[in-house]
């Protein structure tokens, strides 16, 4: 189980689309991309299709819009979709930006509850305090508190979840050459930069009182 907090636009969807494709090819397990809107999941679908073409794999699609690959079904679902009938490895794209991140998390867990499957949450911080609670592990059974704001690097929590924080500066330091950091900082307010690129939950915590 993985919960990843990241800067925007550093290639997470690209990476996980390829991971899911490889897993489907090698294990036959179902894969599910779950995002705030169905349109957002199509980004993963496009990355997956491009990767499949590179290795000569044909991805067929059924009438419901799911990709069929040998024994695996790859599904692309939005927050408003009915998800009860689905099972597989679940990738929750931009989980902090769901209308109800806690419900999305519970749905992701329900779709991946078979022992052969796992769930992966990833996204940039938002202004939603419920999303912060999902990140921190407030809705998991645990015996010790988990890190609250930011994790330099990664670690396993007492709830069995692997967590990682990856800011834009860290991504650049590890070789990501896609951005002009000075331009981004000029175009964003400090608050916007911290939320979108700095893995900073401060604004969400400030909104705690607005959560019913």
Instruction: Tell me the whole-structure pTM to 2 decimals.
Output: 0.90
- What's the number of domains the chain is made of? 1
CB 95 within 8 A of CB 124: no
**Would you place residue 209 in the very low, low, confident or very high pLDDT band (cuts 50, 70, 90)?**
confident
pLDDT value, residue 211: 63
22 CA to centre of own chain: 18
Residue 103 CB: number of other CB atoms within 10 A? 13
Instruction: Write the pLDDT tens digit of every residue in 9-52.
Output: 999 999 999 999 999 999 999 999 999 999 999 999 999 999 99
Q: Which domain does 60 fall in, by range?
A: 2-210
Mean pLDDT of the chain: 89
What's the CATH number where 127 sits? Answer: 3.40.50.300
pLDDT at 147 over 60: no
| CA–CA gap between residue 172 and residue 31 (Å, rounded) | 30
């Amino acid at each position: 189980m993985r919960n990843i907090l990241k800067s925007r636009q550093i290639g997470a969807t690209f990476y996980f689309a390829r991971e899911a494709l490889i897993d489907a090819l090698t294990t036959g397990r179902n894969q599910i991309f779950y995002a705030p809107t169905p349109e957002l999941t199509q980004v993963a679908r496009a990355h997956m299709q491009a990767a499949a073409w590179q290795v000569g794999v044909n991805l067929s699609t059924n009438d419901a819009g799911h990709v069929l690959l040998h024994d695996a079904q790859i599904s692309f679902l939005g927050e408003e979709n009915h998800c009860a009938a689905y099972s597989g490895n679940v990738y929750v794209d931009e989980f902090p930006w769901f209308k109800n991140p806690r419900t999305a998390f519970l749905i992701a867990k329900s779709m991946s509850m078979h022992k052969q499957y796992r769930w992966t949450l990833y996204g940039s911080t938002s202004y939603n305090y419920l999303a912060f609670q999902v990140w921190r592990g407030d809705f998991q059974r645990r015996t010790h508190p988990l890190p609250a704001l930011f994790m330099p690097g990664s670690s396993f929590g007492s709830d069995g979840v692997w967590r990682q924080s990856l800011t834009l500066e860290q991504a650049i330091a590890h070789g990501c050459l896609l951005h002009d950091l000075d331009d981004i900082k000029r175009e964003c307010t400090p608050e916007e930069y911290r939320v979108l690129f700095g893995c900073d939950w401060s604004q969400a915590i400030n909104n705690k009182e607005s959560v019913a």
